[in-house]
Amino acid sequence: MKRLLICLFFITCSVSGSTNSESRVRFLVDRADEAEHGCFEAVEKIRLELPQNKSDSVYRVAKGVFWDHIFLRTNLLYWFGGILNVGAEWKPTEKIGIVLDGGWAPWSSDRYSYNWSLRFIAPSVRYYLDDAGQWSIGVQFLASVFNFKTGEEGSQGRILAGGIIGSYKLSLGHSFLLDFSLGLGYGNLKYDTYRRSEGANFYTGRNITKNAFMPIEAGVSLIWIIQ
């Protein structure tokens, strides 16, 4: 731009025969420098406002928006197992997420010949490893009561467990995510075994206690970002 303006000015001066061409050249050069600098600043401003990478554009972390939201969630795998469930996550800071999941399975047959009954609550605290808020690791606690009977003998009791959970979030657009999670831990089971006959339970084992390593979470959760 600057070179073009100078060339045009010299052509004009040669035609008009101006005697004050040097001062005019300096004036024109200064104006061209200002115009060029202004264009550079405008381009740089636009570049800085654009997302720096794909993760920033998906999760809007750089502007502090992602962790200002509350997320509603439900585990799709549990639905396939007949377990109704819902949860929520709140991020008080960029790196910390507090999650509370709960579920209920109310299924039973007439006269309770078959049972698929379950209630659980699973709070967890997650630490996000990257700025985009995709990878996380944390700790989770699980408390559940159950009554399962799919054959001749059933089991009913409770589970208390805790362990480590890891997860990865995948964007499904502006308002939805998929959260793939897996948790392993150590738990305590206390339960009874029984058989059902003539409308009553006949216990075959009472207060059975087991301590063991076990999965405490397996999920493909659909997450809705509340705007």
What value does the mean pLDDT take over residues 64-78?
A: 78
pLDDT in tens, 122-145: 999 999 999 888 999 999 999 999
Q: Where are the alpha helices (DSSP H) in the chain?
A: 2-16, 21-49, 54-59, 76-80
Can you read off the two tokens belonging to residue 118? 């379950």
Distance CA 75, CA 226 (A): 17
Average pLDDT, the chain: 80
Q: 138 or 22: which carries more pLDDT confidence?
A: 138
The pLDDT of residue 83: 95
The pLDDT of residue 199: 73
The pLDDT of residue 113: 78
pLDDT in tens, 99-125: 999 999 999 887 777 889 999 999 999
pLDDT in tens, 147-162: 999 888 899 999 999 9
Phi-psi region of 82 (alpha: psi -120 to 50; beta: other; left: phi over 0): left
The answer to whether the beta carbons of residues 134 and 126 sit under 8 Å apart is: no
The pLDDT of residue 36: 56
Q: 41 or 82: which carries more pLDDT confidence?
A: 82
* DSSP assigned state of 1: -
Distance linking the first and last C-alpha atoms of the chain: 46
- What own/partner pairs with CB < 8 Å and gap ≥ 24 does 159-164 have? 159/120, 159/187, 159/188, 159/189, 160/187, 160/188, 161/185, 161/186, 161/187, 161/188, 161/214, 161/216, 162/186, 162/187, 162/216, 163/139, 163/187, 163/216, 164/137, 164/138, 164/139, 164/140
pLDDT at residue 90 is higher than 70: yes
pLDDT at residue 214 is higher than 60: yes
HSE (side-chain half, CA atoms, 13 Å) at 191? 20
The type of residue at 205 is: G
Q: 6 or 196: which carries more pLDDT confidence?
A: 196
Task: Work out the widest C-alpha separation in the chain, in whole angstroms.
Answer: 120
The pLDDT of residue 33: 58
pLDDT at residue 203 is higher than 70: yes
pLDDT band at 35 (very low <50, low <70, confident <90, very high): low
Q: Which residue has the tokens 């009977």?
A: 149
pLDDT band at 58 (very low <50, low <70, confident <90, very high): very low
Distance CA 17, CA 208 (A): 110
pLDDT in tens, 8-21: 444 455 444 444 55
Distance CA 109, CA 123 (A): 31
- Count Cβ atoms within 10 A of the Cβ of residue 20 and give its class: 0-12 exposed, 13-18 middle, 19 or more buried: exposed
The pLDDT of residue 56: 45
The pLDDT of residue 18: 47
The pLDDT of residue 60: 45
